[in-house]
Structure formats: structure tokens, C-alpha cells
Amino acid sequence: MSMIAMPLLAQGDWAAGVGVDFYLVLALAVFCLPVFARMASGVARGKGKVDSGAYGIPDLLFVGVLAAWAGLTAVSVLQKGGQSQPMSVREIYESALMFSMVVGCIGLFLWYRNLSVPRLFGLMRPDWPALLGKGVLWLLAAYPIILLIMQCTQLLLGGEASPQKIVEFFSEALAEGRSSEVIATILTAGLVAPVVEEFIFRGYFYGTFRRYLGPWGGMLLTSLLFAVIHLNLLALPSLFVLAICFTLAYEATGSLWVPIVMHALFNAANLTFVLFSIGAP
């Protein structure tokens, strides 16, 4: 299975060994950690704002089927050593279409059960200035934590997380001036992926699992699935923590717009990094 866009965490050898950069990231992570610790404390005290009471057994069964399909497919690909074939723009569009269809199926399923998607996911009457501000600030707080987890993983396991296929595809398209492929990657990674992935994982999967496993059980299971389907073993711990940060932001606001904004900015920042690294000497 190929996700339409994946967080682009492994970019070069900045984390090779413990140096000044490691301690700088460590200090920043320690400084930023209380932001999410405060959110976690609110969840622990029952003050989370995600309402999962409307979900029922039909949702649990439907989510179970989707999660099993996604998880088993990802594990199968990882066991075979990942995806060895080069990515193409057709594959990007096909992946975008496939996951958009999953979103459509979920939306139709909820509509058939007379459940309002905007109300369930907190999408009604968004206060855009506040949502954008929180998304930016909380992503900035999450970044040092994610980078620290990535570096610790590399130090413990050795080696570096190999670039994901979409990273290699985007880098090659930039270097060779294939503008249509660059635009396709930017649209899917920066716009489509954040919406569909957050709709599926934070919106429907987490809401349903939260109903039956509680916020912590739902958060851990959903975050693990999110990390696994991105098909990068060395990046898995960082992706898992990133998903936890997205979920805590969702709980803190009750609006799926916030993790969508965080996810979009995260992907955009990493695409921008690739853009500047191509032009660097």
C-alpha cells in the first residue's frame, strides 16, 4: 500500500552521531514538551473535547475492517523490504483517488446512520485565525520532539531512515524540472493527504476507538496504525509520536481542523526543505 503523502522525516545525515545539534534539539524538546503534557493532563482529567458518544458497534466493525486491511497490507509490504519500484505520477493520483474513496465511503456510512460529519469532527463554524494560530504554534512545539525521537532511533538502531518513495520522487522531479510531477506532489502532500489522513485516522478511527477503548487506548492504537502505514521502520517511532501530538491537539480543541492544519504545515515544511536542499551546493 502506498499512502498518497507521508511525513518527510529522513532528509540527509544531520543526525549522524551525538553532537551539538543533538543537545540543541534535546533542549528545545524539553522546553516544548510541557505544551503536550498539559494537553495530556487535560485528557487524563476527562477534559478532552472530542465527543465519541455517537459512535456505535457498526462503526467499530467498519473501522476494524479498514484498520485490518491497512495494517496487514502495510506489514506485508514491510516484510518484503518495502516498495522497490520507482514512484510515478500515476501512482500518486491513484493513491489520492483510493484514499479519497475511503473518505467517501466513511462519509456515506455516517450519513446513512444519520450522523453529521461536521458535528462529529468539530468542523462547524471554524474560527480560522484561532485554528491557524494554534496549528502553527503546536506544530512548532512538536517539531523538536519529533526530531529528537528520530535521532534517538538512529543512534539506537544504527543507520538512517531511508527517504520515502515520495521524497525521492519529489527530489528527482525538482532536479530534472518535471513541473507537472512537482505540482502533483505538492497538491497531494500539502492538501489532499492532510485532509484524508486526518479524516480517516484522527476523525473516524480515533473517534470510534475512543468510544470503546477510552482516549488513551484509542490514541495509541490509531497512532500505531498511522505510523505503520507510512512504510518506514526507522521513522515509525517519530511518526507515532507525531500522531500522538495531532491527537492531543484534536482533544484540546475538539476540532479536526487543527490537526489538519498541523499535518498540512508539516508536509509543506518538509517539501520546502527538499526544495532548498536541491538548490544547495
What's the rounded Cα separation, in Å, for the pair 33 and 37? 6
Domain boundary assignment for the chain: 20-38+54-279
Estimate the share of the chain in helix, then strand, then coil, as percent rounded to the nearest 5: 75, 0, 25
Q: Please give the pLDDT value at position 8.
A: 45
Higher-confidence position of 184 and 60 = 60
39: cell is 494537553
Q: Please give the pLDDT value at position 279.
A: 55
Supply the Cα-derived Rg of the chain in whole angstroms.
Answer: 18
Residues 211 and 203: beta-carbon distance below 8 Å: no
Reduced to 3 states, what is the DSSP secondary structure of residue 255?
A: coil
pLDDT tens-digit readout, 136-181: 999 999 999 999 998 888 888 775 556 667 777 888 888 888 888 8
Q: Please give the pLDDT value at position 9.
A: 44
CA distances from 60 to 56, 123, 212, 213, 244 (A): 6, 22, 8, 11, 21
Residues 92 and 166: beta-carbon distance below 8 Å: yes
The secondary structure element, H or E, covering residue 172 is helix 165-176
Q: Is the pLDDT confidence value at 15 over 70? A: no
Average pLDDT (47-69) is 94
What's the rounded Cα separation, in Å, for the pair 55 and 125? 22
For 149, residues 6+ apart whose C-beta sits below 8 A from its C-beta are 237, 238, 241
Task: Count CB-CB contacts under 10 A for residue 82.
Answer: 13
Q: Is the pLDDT confidence value at 218 over 50? A: yes
Among 55-59, 123-127, 213-217, where is mean pLDDT lowest? 123-127
Percent of the chain clearing pLDDT 90 (strictly above): 55
pLDDT tens-digit readout, 221-276: 999 999 988 877 788 899 999 999 999 999 999 999 999 999 999 999 888 888 77
14 — pLDDT class (breaks 50, 70, 90) = very low
